[in-house]
Structure 1
Amino acid sequence: MNRNLARHAHIASLRAKRPQISDEEVNQHRDAVGGSGLVAAIEPLIARSKGRHCTLSVHTLLTGMSLASRRNGGVVTFSTVTNLLFFSLSDTMRERLGLRRYPDNDRGFEAAYAVVRRLLHSILKAVDPSPLPKNHRMARRHADNLLAKADPRLLARKRNRLLQVSNMILGMSLREALPLLEERWKGSVSIDATVIGTYAKGMPQASPDTSTDPDAGWYVRTARHKDPLALDDLDPGQAAKGKQKAREQKKIDKIKKALYGYDASLVVARDPDHDGAPLSDGSADPGVVPALIIAFSIDKPSHRPGQVGVEALLHIDDRFPRGYLAGDRAYNDQKPENFQLPIRAMGYDPVYDYASDQLGVQAGFAGAQLVEGNWYCPSMPQPLKDATKDLLEKKITKQEWIDRIRARASYLFLPKQRPDAEGHRRMMCPAESGRAQCLLKPTTLGRGIHVPLVDPDPKPVDSPLCCKQRTITIPPESGANLWQPLQYGSEDWQRVYFRLRNSVEGINGFAKDPLHERLEDSGTRRVRGIAAQAILLAFQLAHANLRKLAAWADTIALNGDRPRRRPTRRRKTKPIGTWTPKGYTTTQP
């Protein structure tokens, strides 16, 4: 008997004693939830006049989820939420939150867990934009019938609710940074879709059954996938023939990565006018706010990337300005009505890179030609139009490409005024703006040999409208899928595009860190369905923001004191804004 008592005492000492959470910490999270607007947004969605009264409030559940996220690297599991709320709070705080007492044993934990689970599923049901059941496989034909019978307007309303709630959760992480963003950030963002796994096994496309998470889809990356920051696509005309071509095709189609899950479209705020380099004393610059995730959306991988990106942008707080918006080639390859025109209507100026089939002259209006996103004089020399093509085909050197890009500026149409309310903009002929001389416009001649002379080719028809008028009015839909305000390849374009694009790529790696949020790991979000994945992902993204802000604050020297830690070491290399699309550095004029 004594031996059993001793054994039980040893086992009791091995049991981890639950850490008690201070009332101050609970109140901090409770106040953050209360000030986010989440409770007012969710409670009307789950209100009911019949049935048993729920003993757990929405405010308390969200407080527990916020506590769990902060203590577990952004990961929220509902066993952790149950332990924190029902067994780790002081008696005073538990009474203040209206939490029912449960015995600290297996039955008590299961009863408390059931309360948490029921409220969670009530919230998920109210915001779930999918009519498909989760957690078990079903015949694909039955799933197709459910989708066909569902009310698309109801599903659209639920999706909007889901994104609203998820972005409110993310917004809690920005409360302390809002004064800094309002003062320092000018509204420039980068948008990118990053794949995240779901806690379910994906089924083949030809399978007669669905996955246990039917809302997700397959993300497949092959050897064809290229770095979106480099214009290195091969020219189709250079492809090998015969057996060599077959071998290359097999290599191209080889799958490098396959993941069943979702695409999270992240909107990252960044100021491209500052490089974020440390000050002379080695501390971080307090005037440069680090890149932060300010909005996001979620959907199947590579499914409606343009519309999903616009959904994320719609949830950015209206108090912030709108600046440049950088996106990879997935976005300038969309239909203009799905992405390019909506973002311009919001007030953003797009900044793009281009694939090999998007180079050179791509559109025209009133005689003006769209070359790599900018409107140019139709008589611009052909070598200047083909500058980037010739670079990729290795017909010219890097310095020749740089010189041609700079020479294009003399043929560039410049805006005469800001766009009107409908997006139309008056553009001035380069000769009329003093950048060139044109034989068709005698008043522009005699400016000196330093200004290029435009000599239009004789044509059997009348001159185009842009050559007969001082200005032309270009509608927003003309060349909308490729247009951008900055001259492609210029130093300004390089500075804005690469800094914005690198910020979102850096955030992806930061939040996927296996020591912290593990964003891509499906095991960090163990509730299936797009609604659960979006809400749990919001807590992870919020934690990444808080971790980044804390790391940044620790590298700042306050009141003349030394910082707590040094900022990331920067090598003495050329600034990012001096790189061309092929990786060559430009030389300053």
Structure 2
Amino acid sequence: MRARPEADQLAARHARPRLRPGRLTEIPDSKVGQLLTLLDRSGLPQQLEDMLRGRPGPPGVPPRTVLAGLMLAVYYTGRATISDAWRILHFRLQPAARAWLGIPESPPSTARGCIAASRRLYRGLDRITTVLDPARCDRRRRMVQAEADIHSAVWDGPSGREAASRLQRLANDLVLVPVRLAQQRGYLRHWKGDVGVDATSIPVLARPDSDRSGTASVEITAGWHYRGGSDEGIFGYSATLLVAAHSRMSEQAAKGRRAPSYPQLCLGLTLDTPTVRTGENAVAVLGRLADLRPPAGTCAADRAYTGCSPEKFQVPARRLGFRLALDYKAADRGIQGSWQGAVLIDGSLACPQIPNALAQATHGMDDKTFRQRLDELKPVVAERLPYFLKLKQNADARGTVRLQCPAAGPSPSVNCPRRERLRPARPSASGPPQTVLRLADRRSRASHPAARPTVQLPDGEWIDPPRKDELPAVCGASAISVPADAAGDLKTAKFRQDSHYLTLAWERIYKPIRSHNEGLNGRLKGAELNIGEPLHRRAPGQVAQTLLVAIMVTVGNLDILETWLYERTGSRLSDTEFESVPAPQDFDPRYVLAPLGTGRHPPGNL
């Protein structure tokens, strides 16, 4: 065997992982066992072993060992790098944990031994990313733009979308394990099913495409992520995060009651090219919640999701059983469309004869003017409320709701001569009921017809009343059906929401949920754990970045759960609680650990 050139040997010595002897504290077997249990209960190691079975080449380090090392590295250092995983696996584990993961009893004692051990871990991660990547390419060099376009186009093809869907499913299997643990132990019993969805930037180390040299980025599927209101982009990926949230209780409901307490965990993750498949990625993580069987709640999303095509986000979200709370851009406020004669105003269907000054009160203002005049708009928005259609029947399995005229029903909110002409009240044998008005009772005063606004009809309708079939359907029918897709009117399907925009009820729903999104981003991009720091996840490629971010979010979920439990009870998660996490349906019992704390060798596939 030929000796390596001196330059290569020098480069190898400089490239080997560095040790900091003062930081080499031992990790207890109990914590290793807990993290291994979370990893095994996700089914991810087992699925990766099945995919790698039969592939050519030496088996190398098992995926279970690679992923466990990365999880330990994130938990103890906040970094998802192979170098940190190598230090922990070979220098910080006790004998029992080494046996669980197939790590040699004694750490490497020479520089060449250290390099060989670290490279085996690198090759183990490379085997995982290779089997999951639909367009594998050499990411140690920049390709010409035409060659990179061929590889990136594979991700948008049928095989690429299938591979991306499998990758996101595996990532969410891991992210949801702490959530299933919290649900199993009853820590989420006060969560009512409200969720917030948001996309956050995931910067990468690679530089973007170069027009000067004609070369593409090493991250061939990355792009520019723009924060709301910013013109400066961040090169990398966009991570769609779903958070368990809740709306703010009304003042009456809050009297004598405490706010619901539960760990605000991340319920789903997708990593994709920025501004591509924004709505589809949100629906993908919403769909995964069906496995948890949460109660039907509200999904709040910012303007990036309001701008999606309705068949990509709004319609599927409604069909999944979620109510929507949305915000609008300046050009989308005011009258947005109509449905069966009812006017769509800022996401709510209203009487077709609503005064135009009320309907267009929010139209034509830019965002800055809109924010400055928000207090002035509140009284005008309150005057709209009586004209909005009333909910007669909640959404069915297909997301269709039934709405009725505001002048209909036992508690009308407006007086409408047209409604009285088309559907007169049936005369009673004892004569008209006597209305008793209690002036001291605010509710009695508000329900009196004199306190309700009266719909102003066109002048010609008083002289020549049109027939019932000549009027809008909402005026003649007892109620109208509004399906989730609102076939024939994309504006209704796109902009309709379930709370009246800018009202106090909307603010109590939308603003707290959005603040929970920002709170989750703050926890996952904090000082100790930061998914937004590219130095903490160096491995290139969308597959590697997805897996590393998923591991970091999983550890972040575990930290949120442990912190929440300790602050309220002063206790920590026990080994028994980790063992109670439900396993996947096709889980291989060979991956189940022995009872934690016993020191026995687990019957894993080592």
CA contact (8 A) 2:336 2:346 kept: yes
Residue equivalent to 2:602: none
2:485 to 477, 481, 486: 477
Corresponding position: 1:350 with 2:324: yes
Residue equivalent to 1:503: 516
Deviation at 1:257, TM superposition (A): 3.0
1:361-417 deviation digits (Å, cap 9, x = unpaired): 111111101000001000111121122238876899756522222222211112221
Residue equivalent to 1:81: 85
CA contact (8 A) 2:209 2:217 kept: yes
Greater shift in the superposed pair: 28-37 or 139-148: 139-148
1:487 to 481, 500, 512: 500
Q: 1:110 to 1:345 in 2, by over 3 A?
A: same
Q: Distance in 1 between matches of 2:167 and 2:373?
A: 51
Residue equivalent to 1:530: 542
2:354 to 380, 401, 406: 380
CA contact (8 A) 1:437 1:451 kept: yes
In structure 2, the residue corresponding to 1:298 is in which secondary structure?
Answer: strand
Deviation at 1:327, TM superposition (A): 0.8
TM-score between both structures, scaled by the size of structure 1: 0.79
Residue equivalent to 2:245: 270
CA contact (8 A) 2:331 2:364 kept: no
Q: Distance in 2 between matches of 1:395 and 1:258?
A: 25
Q: What amino acid sits opposite 2:101 in the alignment?
A: L
Q: What amino acid sits opposite 2:112 in the alignment?
A: R
CA contact (8 A) 2:210 2:217 kept: no
Deviation at 1:173, TM superposition (A): 3.4
Q: Distance in 1 between matches of 2:356 and 2:22?
A: 75
Deviation at 1:146, TM superposition (A): 3.7
Q: Distance in 1 between matches of 2:246 and 2:109?
A: 51
CA contact (8 A) 1:270 1:291 kept: yes
Residue equivalent to 1:428: 404
Q: What amino acid sits opposite 1:137 in the alignment?
A: R
In structure 2, the residue corresponding to 1:493 is in which secondary structure?
Answer: helix
Residue equivalent to 2:567: 555
Q: 1:337 to 1:398 in 2, by over 3 A?
A: closer
Q: 1:500 to 1:150 in 2, by over 3 A?
A: closer
CA contact (8 A) 1:68 1:80 kept: yes
Unaligned stretches of 5+ residues in structure 2: 1-18, 426-431, 433-447, 487-491, 572-606
Q: Distance in 2 between matches of 1:128 and 1:528?
A: 12
Q: 1:266 to 1:14 in 2, by over 3 A?
A: closer
Corresponding position: 1:367 with 2:341: yes
1:333 to 292, 302, 307: 307
Deviation at 1:350, TM superposition (A): 0.9
In structure 2, the residue corresponding to 1:456 is in which secondary structure?
Answer: coil
Residue equivalent to 1:440: 418
Q: 1:124 to 1:136 in 2, by over 3 A?
A: same
In structure 2, the residue corresponding to 1:103 is in which secondary structure?
Answer: coil
Q: 1:128 to 1:274 in 2, by over 3 A?
A: farther
CA contact (8 A) 1:437 1:444 kept: no
1:310-348 deviation digits (Å, cap 9, x = unpaired): 223233343223311111111111110111111111111
Residue equivalent to 2:234: 259
Deviation at 1:100, TM superposition (A): 4.1
In structure 2, the residue corresponding to 1:314 is in which secondary structure?
Answer: helix
In structure 2, the residue corresponding to 1:477 is in which secondary structure?
Answer: coil
For residues 225-236 of structure 1, the aligned pairs below 5 Å read 225-226=228-229
1:26-84 deviation digits (Å, cap 9, x = unpaired): 22222222222222322211112654343x333232222221111012x1111221222
CA contact (8 A) 1:417 1:425 kept: yes
Corresponding position: 1:408 with 2:380: no
Q: 1:162 to 1:543 in 2, by over 3 A?
A: same
Q: 1:532 to 1:395 in 2, by over 3 A?
A: closer
Q: Distance in 2 between matches of 1:35 and 1:285?
A: 34
TM-score between both structures, scaled by the size of structure 2: 0.77
Deviation at 1:424, TM superposition (A): 2.9
CA RMSD of aligned residues (A): 3.1
Residue equivalent to 1:305: 278
Q: What amino acid sits opposite 2:237 in the alignment?
A: Y
Q: What amino acid sits opposite 2:224 in the alignment?
A: W
1:450-480 deviation digits (Å, cap 9, x = unpaired): 1222232246972212112221222322301
Q: 1:371 to 1:190 in 2, by over 3 A?
A: same
Residue equivalent to 2:264: 291
Q: Distance in 2 between matches of 1:309 and 1:206?
A: 36
CA contact (8 A) 2:346 2:501 kept: yes
Q: Distance in 2 between matches of 1:145 and 1:199?
A: 22
Greater shift in the superposed pair: 489-498 or 388-397: 388-397
For residues 99-118 of structure 1, the aligned pairs below 5 Å read 99-100=103-104, 103-118=108-123
Q: Distance in 1 between matches of 2:482 and 2:249?
A: 32
Corresponding position: 1:465 with 2:473: yes
Residue equivalent to 2:199: 193
Corresponding position: 1:128 with 2:133: yes
Greater shift in the superposed pair: 96-105 or 257-266: 96-105
Q: Distance in 2 between matches of 1:32 and 1:76?
A: 17
Q: What amino acid sits opposite 1:262 in the alignment?
A: Y
Deviation at 1:554, TM superposition (A): 4.0
Residue equivalent to 2:393: 417
CA contact (8 A) 1:135 1:213 kept: no
Deviation at 1:153, TM superposition (A): 2.4
Greater shift in the superposed pair: 423-432 or 364-373: 423-432
Q: Distance in 2 between matches of 1:483 and 1:147?
A: 36
Greater shift in the superposed pair: 107-116 or 325-334: 107-116
In structure 2, the residue corresponding to 1:191 is in which secondary structure?
Answer: strand
Unaligned stretches of 5+ residues in structure 1: 1-12, 227-254, 560-589
Residue equivalent to 1:573: none
CA contact (8 A) 2:155 2:164 kept: no
For residues 122-161 of structure 1, the aligned pairs below 5 Å read 122-147=127-152, 152-161=157-166
Greater shift in the superposed pair: 315-324 or 532-541: 315-324
Q: Distance in 1 between matches of 2:452 and 2:424?
A: 10
Greater shift in the superposed pair: 158-167 or 392-401: 392-401
Q: What amino acid sits opposite 1:313 in the alignment?
A: L
Q: Distance in 2 between matches of 1:151 and 1:358?
A: 30
Residue equivalent to 2:435: none
Q: Distance in 2 between matches of 1:92 and 1:557?
A: 31
In structure 2, the residue corresponding to 1:388 is in which secondary structure?
Answer: coil
Q: What amino acid sits opposite 1:189 in the alignment?
A: V
Greater shift in the superposed pair: 322-331 or 38-47: 38-47
1:216 to 198, 219, 222: 222
In structure 1, the residue corresponding to 2:481 is in which secondary structure?
Answer: strand
For residues 56-67 of structure 1, the aligned pairs below 5 Å read 56-67=61-72
Deviation at 1:548, TM superposition (A): 3.0
In structure 1, the residue corresponding to 2:288 is in which secondary structure?
Answer: coil
Greater shift in the superposed pair: 334-343 or 398-407: 398-407
Q: Distance in 2 between matches of 1:394 and 1:190?
A: 24
Q: Distance in 1 between matches of 2:110 and 2:270?
A: 40
Q: Distance in 2 between matches of 1:216 and 1:162?
A: 16
In structure 2, the residue corresponding to 1:124 is in which secondary structure?
Answer: helix
Residue equivalent to 2:363: 389
In structure 2, the residue corresponding to 1:261 is in which secondary structure?
Answer: strand
Q: 1:210 to 1:387 in 2, by over 3 A?
A: same
